[in-house]
Amino acid sequence: MTDEGNTSRSGSASTGSGPSLPTVPREPLCRLIGTDGNVFSIIGRVRRALEHDGQPDRAREFVKRVFASKSYDEALALCLEYVEVK
């Protein structure tokens, strides 16, 4: 018998003993595939997904980091750190 209900998104289960692992922030779903590839449009979609998921602080952090990025590819990589792309 398996107990799949006690595992988190990262696949680890809490056993109640030993030090706790740092909590990994939830990555909300964000539709980017098949949408406008303009970097500002992408930034807006990711920011809104984070805000709608109740993560306004992460949304601000994301925007700050992405505007400091040096290239389109770096900006896209940051998007993948913050949301799950669908």
Which tens digit of pLDDT belongs to each residue from 4-61?
Answer: 444 344 444 455 566 777 777 889 999 988 888 999 999 999 999 999 999 999 999 9
- As given in the structure block, the two tokens for residue 73 are 């590819």
* Position 2 in a domain: no
Closest CA to 21 of 39, 9, 36, 34: 9
- Residues 5 and 38: beta-carbon distance below 8 Å: no
* Position 60 in a domain: yes
* Position 51 in a domain: yes
- Residues 82 and 50: beta-carbon distance below 8 Å: yes
* Position 36 in a domain: yes
Mean pLDDT of 67-78: 96
| Domain encompassing residue 31 | 26-85
* Position 80 in a domain: yes
Cα–Cα distance between 35 and 19 in angstroms, integer?
A: 43
Question: CA Rg, the chain, in Å?
Answer: 16
pLDDT of residue 10: 45
The total of structural domains in the chain comes to: 1
pLDDT of residue 77: 96
- Reduced to 3 states (helix: H, G, I; strand: E, B; else coil), residue 12 is coil
* Position 12 in a domain: no
pLDDT of residue 30: 94
Mean pLDDT of 60-71: 98
* Position 14 in a domain: no
